Amino acid sequence: MAKTASLAQHLADILASWGAKFIFGLVGDSILPFVSILGKHSIRFIPLRNEESAAYAASAYAKLTGELGVVLADGGPGTGHLVNGLADATSDAVPVMAITGQVESMYMGTGHKQYINQQKLLGSVTIRSENLANPQSLSTIATDLLRTAVAQGGPVHLSVPKDFWQHKVKAVQLKAEPYLTQVPQSPEEVLDEAADWVGRLRKPMILAGRGASRAMAEVMALSERIGAGVMHTLPMAGMIPSHPLAVGGIGEGGSEAAVELMSQCDGLIKIGATYWPTSLTTDRQKVLAIDAHPANISRGVPADFGVVGDAKRVLSTLLSKLGAGPANQTWREQVARSAGDWEDRLAKELAQGKGQPVLVSGRWRGMGFSLGASIAAKLARPDAQVFCLIGDGGFSMLMGEFASCVELQLPITFVLMNNRAYAMEKSAMAAGGLKPLGVELQDIRYCQVAEACGGMGWRITTREFKDALLQAKEAGKPALIDLQVEPVPVPTAHT
């Protein structure tokens, strides 16, 4: 006879069978039985101060580890707070499972307090959203949602009526589905054509995106072989090794060397990237795209040739099919000169910033993302030193998460750039001839806020920054450096 368990217990077991290690969230009336189960389960519940931060944390965890991120929220207002974090996961195509409470089943579709059609609310920021209509359907619906999140790469959502959590349901046998992460692969003849395509380039460039993060050795080997400059998108900041052919980021705030070389190249090899800043680039160049997801081949910029497959495997095969050296040594030397000139300008600032994973809200660019993301990063990699780089606008929006860090005993260093303004918006209004309004911020003593929460805090100028970093590193607890900076216009790669 099949064993039975509470719906809350069975859902936790399903999530664990799919590899979930943490659930980020905030307690609420409609999810209390599930939260209680997590107190004695292998999955660890990570309580944060705002569901928005919890959703950002789940998304960041998925980006950093490649594993499933999970977020839990109360119904009604709690569910509403998830929108930004789930939009981030949708925009950056990472697997996240959002679980929300809902009013009792008898009140569904009524004007009961805190009722809202959650599927409509979250439908535009998830790839699938379902409400559990019957407790006995849990295994089928939850497993299918998880399968969708992992296979398609994106967030899914399940709402559970409040009166269902303690229902007894049949516990079905749970089996792993590792084949869901198997990547489709272009046939050998396509790789032969790709090698011929690359071999004909005289002035090649490479654009590495997040999909190339686990293939950097192969990316740099290809760069050396064909004499191509290597550019990167924002999610790869800090991941590109120091190399004579690494020319910096692309986009606003990126590298002038990258923009200049892009205007001269005759072909771009796009690896695991979807970002393409049309204002700073052109579509004149031929494009060969390599991506694990066929739908991404022409995303951002239409590709002239596409190869589907894992970046590491595809690049290794291409390297075996290419000639021994660059077709155009002059171009390689030009790339190296441009990269060297750019590196010289940034050497003092970037010398110690290479090879470090950087978590960003790649396409959604939500303010306050780094608070939840830093918590997820420290939990995912407890032995790593984690810095949260944030402005005073983003910090003041979700500053309660500093208290979460204290409660979780996570020694994260928060570097708060305090310019007492929404600087980008202030600069944009001034540049557009608009009278600035709503862009000035109160000068809050954030160091005192940090200390009041039980952490460490310093209010310093740039001259004292190095000493403060050393003290924060030795603090052994959450530490906030309130760095006083001037609200200067933000530079871009085309100014």
Single-letter residue type at 190: V
**Dihedrals φ, ψ of 447, to 5°?**
-60, -35
Confidence (pLDDT) at 190: 96
**Residue 480 in this model has a pLDDT that exceeds 50:** yes
- Residue 317's alpha-carbon distances to 13, 58, 75, 321, 409, in angstroms, are 40, 34, 50, 7, 46
Confidence (pLDDT) at 355: 62
Is residue 87 a contact partner of residue 125, using CB atoms and an 8 Å limit? Answer: yes
Single-letter residue type at 272: G
Is residue 216 a contact partner of residue 210, using CB atoms and an 8 Å limit? Answer: no
Nearest alpha-carbon partner for 211 in 115, 309, 77: 309
What does the pLDDT look like over 144-203, one tens digit per residue? 999 999 999 999 999 999 999 999 999 888 887 888 888 899 999 999 999 999 999 999
Confidence (pLDDT) at 279: 65
Residue 1 banded pLDDT, cuts 50, 70, 90: very low
Written as six digits, the tokens of 457 are: 């805090």
Determine the Cα angle at 9 with ends 162 and 30, to 5°.
Answer: 20
Is residue 45 a contact partner of residue 25, using CB atoms and an 8 Å limit? Answer: yes
Written as six digits, the tokens of 36 are: 């209680």
Is residue 489 a contact partner of residue 427, using CB atoms and an 8 Å limit? Answer: yes
Written as six digits, the tokens of 480 are: 């906030």
Written as six digits, the tokens of 250 are: 């692309």
Please tell me the distance from the alpha carbon of residue 321 to that of residue 194, in angstroms, as a whole number: 9
Please tell me the distance from the alpha carbon of residue 276 to that of residue 282, in angstroms, as a whole number: 9
Q: Which single residue is written with the structure tokens 């309580």?
A: 47
DSSP structure class, residue 322:
S
Kindly tell me the burial class for residue 435, based on how many C-beta atoms sit within 10 Å of its own C-beta (0-12, 13-18, 19 or more): exposed
Is residue 382 a contact partner of residue 408, using CB atoms and an 8 Å limit? Answer: no
Residue 493 banded pLDDT, cuts 50, 70, 90: very low
pTM over 0.85: yes
Written as six digits, the tokens of 443 are: 């000068």
Please tell me the distance from the alpha carbon of residue 27 to that of residue 329, in angstroms, as a whole number: 61
Confidence (pLDDT) at 495: 36
**Residue 335 in this model has a pLDDT that exceeds 80:** yes
Each residue of 39-76: b (16+ CB within 10 Å) or e?
A: eebebebbebbbbbbbbbbbbbbbbbbebbbbbbbbbb
Residue 3 banded pLDDT, cuts 50, 70, 90: confident
**Dihedrals φ, ψ of 58, to 5°?**
-65, -40
**Residue 357 in this model has a pLDDT that exceeds 90:** no
**Residue 490 in this model has a pLDDT that exceeds 50:** yes
> Which has the minimum average pLDDT: 76-90, 91-105, 413-427?
413-427
Average pLDDT, the chain: 91
Mean pLDDT for the stretch of residues 253-281: 85
What does the pLDDT look like over 198-245, one tens digit per residue? 999 999 999 999 899 999 999 999 999 999 999 999 888 888 888 999
Written as one string, the DSSP assignment of 355-374 is T------TTT--TTHHHHHH
What does the pLDDT look like over 28-53, one tens digit per residue? 999 999 999 999 999 999 999 999 99
